[in-house]
Amino acid sequence: MKSAPKNRVQLAVAGTAVLALLGATGCSATSLQATTLEYSASDGIVEQVGPVLLRNILIVTSDEGEPGALLGTLFNESDSPVQVTISGENEDAQITIDANDKYVFEEETGDDSTLAGISEIPGSLVDLEFSVNSENATFRVPVLDGTLEEYREYVPGGFTPEPSPSPSPSEGAGAEEAGH
């Protein structure tokens, strides 16, 4: 019967060792698991309004006050067609998506993918209201320009990068060259 206390001691030592090992490796029941967080792994927003999934929705424009092209994809997860209305500050776009289908702004050429007069400069966020059937939601959508090459072809009216200033020669270098 002398073995019972020895087993309890061994069990306690083993339990303490496991807890110490978990503490040393940073494992914890209260630690946030980054892989469980949903986030937009792109430049646009990822949201949902009713049965419609909004994926990578963003606006591309050349400058404040200029027209902006909507980019991204809308997925209709319902068994019936839906009417999606996107309301900007100056204009609305209306899109019909068939049942269990998608609408890709980059593949469309009509006026449904362009909003007039984006009120914010590229690099900011603009409020857009999305209405699907009787559900409405407003989201802050990023406004980009053609600085990133993958968006240049979608900038309404085209994108012209600003010329970078040419470096001016330093005063000391010009003086040394003149003296030799």
- DSSP code of residue 120: S
Residue 54 belongs to some domain of the structure: yes
Residue 151 belongs to some domain of the structure: no
- DSSP code of residue 34: G
Residue 128 belongs to some domain of the structure: yes
Which range marks the domain in which residue 140 is found? 45-145
pTM assigned to the model: 0.67
Residue 152 belongs to some domain of the structure: no
Q: Which two tokens stand for residue 89?
A: 């500050």
Give residue-wise pLDDT tens across range 143-157. 998 888 888 888 887
User: What's the pLDDT score for residue 80?
Assistant: 96
The upper half-sphere exposure of residue 174, i.e. CA atoms within 13 Å in the direction of its Cβ, equals 4
User: What's the pLDDT score for residue 56?
Assistant: 94
Q: Which two tokens stand for residue 157?
A: 């009216």
User: What's the pLDDT score for residue 8?
Assistant: 73
User: What's the pLDDT score for residue 177?
Assistant: 53
User: What's the pLDDT score for residue 156?
Assistant: 85
Residue 26 belongs to some domain of the structure: no
With a cut of 70, which residues of the chain have pLDDT below it?
1-6, 19, 21-30, 37-41, 109-112, 159-180
Residue 57 belongs to some domain of the structure: yes
Instruction: List the CATH number of the domain containing 125.
Output: 2.60.40.1890
User: What's the pLDDT score for residue 41?
Assistant: 61
Residue 114 belongs to some domain of the structure: yes
Q: How many domains does the chain have?
A: 1
User: What's the pLDDT score for residue 111?
Assistant: 63
User: What's the pLDDT score for residue 4?
Assistant: 53
DSSP codes, 132-167: ETTEEEEEEEEEE-TTSHHHHTTSTT---PPPPPPP
Residue 121 belongs to some domain of the structure: yes
Give residue-wise pLDDT tens across range 127-147. 999 999 889 999 999 999 888
User: What's the pLDDT score for residue 176?
Assistant: 53
Distance CA 5, CA 9 (A): 6
